[in-house]
């Protein structure tokens, strides 16, 4: 018995129809969201719920304290140097909450856990610095606005007077965080805040520094403090990229 092969009818395909079908397939593939790429705003909003409530609550409490102190000083008719001294101390304390959050992230082997997340450690810490940096600027804005409307030296001068202790305090705290690896380094960071606060109060005893003629000194101090803070951030970032933080922070 002879094998009978089934012969399929040859289908005629028009060339232009083939090209059109391939184009449709290509468009459908390109339209699919194969790789998830959240925007910066989505990342920031998504990470807020993972931040320490104690740090966020402390930031909110700091804002309420500033509003309360401004009201008390207004009612008491405080003089210029009292306003500037109180504001300098408050500005020195604003950046402490970011340090508390970073200490929490580097304790109890949280660094290894965060490294396994969708965002790695350096990305997570950058997000935290952005969030708390924005909150710090908000609190400082309220502080500067509250003081400047009650003194005669102007908002630009008040901004310089308060930004200097803020950047030096933040830079010194970050230096302690980067260099000191053991537990309870939060106490050293609080000591850094107290040190900058005392130095700020000491400058109040030199009223000549708070005149228009000495604004250039405050400008140079702000540039130096900002450079110190930026250098500490870059140092911490490089250490994380090299893996030093993962190996050392949780020892």
pLDDT at position 250: 46
Say which residue, 93 or 239, is predicted with more confidence: 93
pLDDT at position 205: 85
pLDDT at position 221: 92
Question: pLDDT per residue over 27-84, tens digit each?
Answer: 777 777 666 666 667 766 777 777 777 778 888 888 999 999 999 988 888 888 889 8
pLDDT at position 189: 77
Q: How far is CA 172 from CA 62, 71, 158, 203, 225, in A?
A: 20, 30, 22, 18, 9
Residue pair 87/162 in contact (Cβ under 8 Å)? The answer is yes
Flag whether pLDDT at 114 surpasses 80. no
Flag whether pLDDT at 108 surpasses 60. no
Q: Out of 16-25, 113-122, 221-230, which region has the weakest mean confidence (pLDDT)?
A: 113-122
Q: How confident is the model at residue 226 (pLDDT cuts 50, 70, 90)?
A: very high
Residue 130 neighbours by CB distance under 10 Å: 14
Flag whether pLDDT at 248 surpasses 50. no
% residues pLDDT > 90 (the chain): 16
Spatial distance between the Cα atoms of 115 and 247, rounded to a whole number of angstroms: 12
Spatial distance between the Cα atoms of 207 and 79, rounded to a whole number of angstroms: 12
Contacts (Cβ under 8 Å, ≥6 apart) of 197: 88, 89, 92, 93, 165, 169
Question: pLDDT per residue over 196-207, tens digit each?
Answer: 888 888 888 888
Question: pLDDT per residue over 13-28, tens digit each?
Answer: 666 777 777 778 887 7
The reported pTM is: 0.75
- Six-digit token string for 11: 């289908």
- Average pLDDT, integer, range 167-180: 84
Flag whether pLDDT at 195 surpasses 50. yes
Spatial distance between the Cα atoms of 92 and 106, rounded to a whole number of angstroms: 23
Of the segments 123-127, 193-197, 233-237, which one has the largest average pLDDT value?
A: 193-197
Flag whether pLDDT at 132 surpasses 80. yes
Per domain, the residue ranges of the chain are 40-248
């Amino acid at each position: 018995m002879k094998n009978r092969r089934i012969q399929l009818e040859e289908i005629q395909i028009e060339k232009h129809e083939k090209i059109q079908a391939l184009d449709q397939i290509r468009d459908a593939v390109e339209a699919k969201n194969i790789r998830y790429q959240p925007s910066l705003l989505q990342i920031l909003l998504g990470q807020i719920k993972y931040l320490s409530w104690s740090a966020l609550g402390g930031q909110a409490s700091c804002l309420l304290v500033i509003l309360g102190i401004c009201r008390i000083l207004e009612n008491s008719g405080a003089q210029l140097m009292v306003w500037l001294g109180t504001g300098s101390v408050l500005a020195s304390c604003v950046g402490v909450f970011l340090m508390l959050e970073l200490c929490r992230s580097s304790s109890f082997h949280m660094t290894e856990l965060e490294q396994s997340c969708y965002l790695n450690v350096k990305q997570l810490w950058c997000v935290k610095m952005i969030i708390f940096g924005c909150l710090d600027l908000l609190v400082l804005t309220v502080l500067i606005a509250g003081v400047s409307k009650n003194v005669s030296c102007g908002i630009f001068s008040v901004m310089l007077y308060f930004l200097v202790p803020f950047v030096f305090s933040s830079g010194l705290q970050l230096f302690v965080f980067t260099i000191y690896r053991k537990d309870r380094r939060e106490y050293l960071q609080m000591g850094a805040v107290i040190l900058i606060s005392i130095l700020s109060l000491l400058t109040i005893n030199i009223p000549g520094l708070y005149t228009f003629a000495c604004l250039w000194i405050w400008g140079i101090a702000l540039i130096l403090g900002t450079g110190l803070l930026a250098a500490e951030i870059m140092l911490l970032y490089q250490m994380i990229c090299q893996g030093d933080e993962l190996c050392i922070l949780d020892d």
